[in-house]
Amino acid sequence: MRGTVCLVTGATGGIGYETALGLARLGARVAIVGRDAGKLQACADRMRAAVPGSAVEPHCADLSAQAEIRRLAETLRAAYPRLDVLVNNAGAIFDRRTLTADGIERTWALDHLGYVLLTLELLDPLRQAAAAGGRPRIVNVASAAHYRGNIDFDDIEGARRYRAMGAYAQAKLGNVLFTYALARRLRDSGITVNAVHPGVVNTGFAKNTGGLFGAAWALMRPFLITPETGARTSLRVASAPDLDGVTGRYFSHGQPKVSSAESRDEAVQERLWALSLQQVGRSD
């Protein structure tokens, strides 16, 4: 990975941190994104200490807010005219329905629309990497939760009925649908797009979630895999030479796997693509 530029969102802990650290160990210049400036800087310092001589560069943004995503993307395009790897990893689950500054339900805004808008805003530096002979990759961290999700086009933001896990599963299904729709559009560009399931990982996920779901997750946490293990699939899909040119796939435990039937429905992919572009104010 020497000579490559990689960007990892949600990199201040868990899978995102371990993915960014792994890319730094492979010799990449790594940009990391988080919403807490102090925590972000501390994580960058830890990575540099763990990998002496590494180039780890922090960028602060709240990826649930579209204005912040656009501001971040402008900064990134100026700092990195060429981008070789984009790992969309930032995400969370929320036990109560809340709206972002854009008036969008927060799970959908962060876990799905954040991937869509940041990726589209960074296509130019990804195309520059392809034009320079690189093999740029987009890695969307989804979840096996997508198998339990469905896209409720009549109530996609849970205004009538909100359930934390239902909203999360729908957003993760959105990640896989977006992956397939984007891969189709970029097929001849030299840019690959894949989705990954990292496993059920012991991270900060759901720590601020109350109710029965939060209690159940707390009981499960000691039995979950480590973030380092969970990052292996993201790292493999971001860097493995044998995956050059592999696109439009869903990976679990490092290997391609068949995703849900709904995720493979091209009509649903296209309908969600159109809705997502409308919600982020794009016309790609």
- Active site (catalytic) residues: 168
Q: For residue 63, what is the DSSP state?
A: T
80, 7 Cβ separation under 8 angstroms = yes
148: its two tokens:
């339990």
Residue partners of 240: CB distance under 8 A and separation at least 6: none
Tokens read off for 237: 């899909």
Closest to 171 in 3D by CA, of 161, 182, 192, 157: 157
Question: ∠276-278-280 over CA atoms, to 5°?
Answer: 70
B/e letters for 8-42, b = 16+ CB within 10 Å, e = fewer, are bbbbbbbbbbbbbbbbbebebbbbbbbbeeeebee
Spatial distance between the Cα atoms of 9 and 35, rounded to a whole number of angstroms: 10
